[in-house]
Amino acid sequence: MRVYDYSKSWQALLTPDIVAMLTQIHEYRGEQALFIEAKKDILTQLVEIAKIQSTEASNRIEGIYTSDERLKKLVLDKTNPRTRSEQEIAGYRDVLATIHESYDYIPPKPSVILQLHGNMYKFSGKSIGGNYKNSDNIIEERDEQGVSHIRFQPVPAWATSEAVDKLCKAFSEAISKDEADPLLLVPMFILDFLCIHPFNDGNGRMSRLITLLLLYRQRYIVGKYVSIEKLIENSKETYYEALKDSSVGWHENTNDYAPFVRYMLGIILCAYRDFSERVKLLSIGISKPKRIEEIIKGTLGKITKSEIVEKCHDISMITIQRTLKELLDSKKIIKIGGGRYTSYVWNKENDE
């Protein structure tokens, strides 16, 4: 039987590489406070971009889509959902907004998790919203031949309520002791949550929302400004590999949290680095074409147009395309490949 106890298991995670990531994240969080206080007007723009990216990415991981135009209108609450996918996107949007605005008043308790899950399904009217699973579920994977195999057997339906109760209690006790770094405890909690798999549907999306909630409550709020969900989507295969590696032996209490903790710390660190770069570019008051130029110049190796768009959601595609053409004409950048595989690299031979 699974035992939920974080009192000592976190100590095995204090390897040199993990400690190094923790140290870097702590340093970035120190910078974060200065950025937020000094650049409130600029950061409003980043919050809007992150909301759109987070809502899109977290749903897209689960195969839930809508058009870019409809997505933006939905996230900005300027339209009503039309399809089942849009209903689920709108539900995610509202839960995300609740967490952004009220995280200090949302403790990680079973009743709260159920309420958040119910809110995620409020537009669809599905009865599964706000209720634990009523039948056993399995986590499957497909091999190269397309044959499905059971990768993991979560907690059975009859034991789910008790498991979530114990999980939340263990996490709260570990946080209150103030011994373990919360950056270790949060991914450990999420790994256990995903292994319990408490709902018939929406477990992945809930895990990402709860990740943000737990990080915000510990004052790691970078996810408000840079989409952690987007970073997870961009490394989806690695995410599933880490989850798989850390779930082996979970029921027998012999699993290794390290792969999943390393992955999540890497995502958080990447978000902080991205946040730092974006704020610096925005805060120096340069023109939009110059920002695009600086992004390419500051990129080691190649960068695609879509990657530029991700970093510059406030800049129109017309401006990006015109700037790329001007940079090519002036030989400041070099074009590599063609079509959908086109990328750009800064021409260092042209530097003075």
In eight-state DSSP terms, residue 131 is S
Q: How far apart are CA 284 and CA 110, in angstroms?
A: 45
Q: Where in the chain is the domain with CATH 1.10.10.10?
A: 286-350
Q: Where in the chain is the domain with CATH 1.10.3290.10?
A: 9-282
Residue type, 118: G
Could you read off the pLDDT of 193-209 as tens digits, one per residue?
999 999 999 999 999 99
Most confident segment among 28-37, 78-87, 190-199:
190-199
Question: How many Cα atoms occupy the beta-carbon half-sphere of 172 within 13 Å?
Answer: 11
pLDDT at 38 over 70: no
Residue among 129, 222, 163, 178 at smallest CA distance from 4: 163
Decide if domain 286-350 falls under CATH 1.10.10.10. yes
Q: How far apart are CA 119 and CA 226, in angstroms?
A: 23
Could you tell me which residue, 47 or 168, shows the higher pLDDT? Answer: 168
Query: Coil, helix or strand for 333?
Result: strand
Mean pLDDT in residue range 115-130:
92
Could you read off the pLDDT of 305-348 as tens digits, one per residue?
888 887 776 788 889 999 998 998 898 888 998 887 899 999 88
Specify the CATH superfamily of domain 9-282: Fido-like domain (1.10.3290.10)
In eight-state DSSP terms, residue 352 is -
